[in-house]
Amino acid sequence: MNRLNGKTAVITGGATGIGHAAAKRFIDEGAFVFIFGRRQEALDAALADLGPNARAVKGSVSDPDDLDRLYAAVKAERGTLDIVFANAGTGSLLPLGKITGEQVDETFDTNVKGSIFTVQKALPLMGQGGSIILTGSSAGTTGAPAFSTYSASKAAVRNLARAWAQDLKGTGIRVNVLSPGPTATELAKEAVGEEGMKVFASMNPLQRMAEPAELGAAAAFLASQDSSFMTASEVAVDGGLAQI
């Protein structure tokens, strides 16, 4: 399939997990991909796997200067940008009564502020036919014990798409949310542990965790013209977790 032939994409949090799986799928479908992340070692490993149609820029979505460097690199090499997958995210478990200011700041700086400025700074490079994809979460709909800060941040991301679809009227740029359920990524394992992942997996009708490649496939759909009449939508790839 060459649904993304000739397209240029940016994927934040693109070195591992869902972001890396999406980068692989985008490249397989013909795109040129810039991955963005905080760890040089992970970026280097991802580039070795992704091949010649990928570039890496080190930085954090919570740092506006880093985002400026990212888009300067895109402009210098490709000129324009077709797809933005604002995928970088973080989360940790703290129940009400033990939530800290540091946890709130870290979560919202990455998941909400990071998404806002990842998209806003990309807009000057985007035009007709552009696709913006935000990573939400089933937790943004259902909530989960001790996960309220993360859940609230992902509910905010969901509403960004609703508002931005209206802000982008007349531009030809679409914005949608991809909302995973329990997915076997490094971040998820760090956040809730192996036992926690088993518990989350048991809660959905498919009785398993998603593979990152399954999210990558859904991201490719939202990036392509196969979803050309979709904006402000949420695509749940969650094994039914938030749908029942």
Task: Tell me whether residue 121 is one of the annotated catalytic residues.
Answer: no
Is residue 154 part of the annotated active site? The answer reads yes
> Where would I find the H helices in the chain?
17-28, 40-50, 64-78, 101-108, 114-122, 139-142, 148-167, 186-202, 212-223
Structure tokens at 172: 């030809």
7, 71, 154, 198: the catalytic one is 154
Which are the contacts of 146, defined by CB distance < 8 A and separation ≥ 6? 93, 94, 95
183 near 202, Cβ under 8 Å? no
Catalytic annotation, pick one of 7, 24, 71, 150: 150
Q: Exposed, middle or buried by CB within 10 Å (0-12, 13-18, 19+), for 3? A: middle
Q: Would you say the C-alpha torsion 232, 233, 236, 240 has a positive or negative sign?
A: positive
Q: Which residues are catalytic?
A: 150, 154
